[in-house]
């Protein structure tokens, strides 16, 4: 396994990846509701982003971005249908075609608590290098479907303890948490947690 390509993650890539999430969420907000399943919400966000990317009157930089949903990754040991698939991948059409990977999880008590979000199939996908092994940072999307975004932000920070802190990447997203994690032989990974309000009724 190669050392992560951390140098390619200039602040512009991070900010644009997060702005894309915000743009997709805004375009799909009416469908991001309390009882929607995670794949559905991610699909709504991806579809809204695709529409913006294809808009000939949109910002020119969008023409240099590709959105991939559940895209199989070839940097793991699994092959074929067994390859890992991050929920959302932003690919920048630039030198080395850097990617910014997001894993999404619902946050809703009592059935979709933080244990799933922080567990092996959530945040753990980045820590154990199944996802983003070539990169020095990635993102988690928390679809808040109970309580409030503020409540979940505080809860996750308490769970992550000294690894986590508030971090503003773009002003449009009010609640972002940054956590720092070791990955064994690889250098560490910074994970940016974006919490999106999906508490609206159907």
Q: What is the pLDDT of residues 134-171, one digit of tens each?
A: 888 999 999 999 999 999 999 999 999 988 999 999 99
| 3-state secondary structure (DSSP) of residue 112 | strand
CA separation for the pair 197, 147 (Å, rounded): 10
pTM: 0.90
pLDDT, residue 157, reads: 95
Residues 165-174 have pLDDT tens digits of 999 999 999 9
User: Residue 57, Cβ neighbours under 10 Å: how many?
Assistant: 4
Q: Identify the band that residue 1 occupies on the pLDDT scale cut at 50, 70 and 90.
A: very low
Sheet containing 164-166, strands listed edge to edge, beginning at the edge strand earlier in sequence: 65-69, 88-92, 99-107, 137-144, 186-197, 176-183, 164-166
CA separation for the pair 184, 132 (Å, rounded): 14
**Predicted confidence (pLDDT) at residue 94 exceeds the cutoff of 90:** no
CA separation for the pair 115, 169 (Å, rounded): 25
What one-character DSSP code corresponds to residue 109?
A: T
| 3-state secondary structure (DSSP) of residue 50 | helix
Structure tokens at 74: 């070839």
Q: Which of 84-88, 99-103, 114-118 has the lowest mean pLDDT?
A: 84-88
């Amino acid at each position: 396994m190669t050392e992560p390509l951390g140098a390619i993650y200039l602040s512009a890539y991070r900010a644009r990846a997060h702005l894309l999430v915000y743009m997709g969420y805004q375009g799909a907000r009416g469908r991001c509701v309390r009882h929607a399943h995670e794949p559905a919400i991610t699909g709504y966000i991806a579809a809204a982003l695709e529409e913006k990317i294809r808009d000939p009157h949109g910002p020119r930089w969008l023409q240099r971005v590709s959105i991939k949903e559940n895209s199989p990754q070839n940097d793991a040991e699994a092959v074929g249908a067994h390859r890992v698939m991050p929920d959302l991948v932003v690919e920048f059409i630039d030198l080395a075609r850097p990617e910014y990977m997001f894993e999404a999880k619902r946050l809703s008590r009592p059935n979709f608590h933080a244990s799933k979000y922080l567990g092996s199939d959530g945040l753990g996908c980045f820590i154990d290098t199944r996802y983003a092994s070539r990169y020095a940072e990635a993102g988690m999307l928390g679809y808040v479907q109970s309580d409030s975004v503020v409540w979940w932000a505080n809860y996750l920070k308490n769970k992550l303890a000294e690894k986590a802190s508030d971090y503003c990447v773009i002003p449009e997203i009010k609640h972002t948490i940054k956590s720092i994690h070791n990955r064994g032989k690889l250098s560490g990974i910074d994970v940016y947690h974006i919490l999106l309000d999906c508490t609206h009724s159907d």
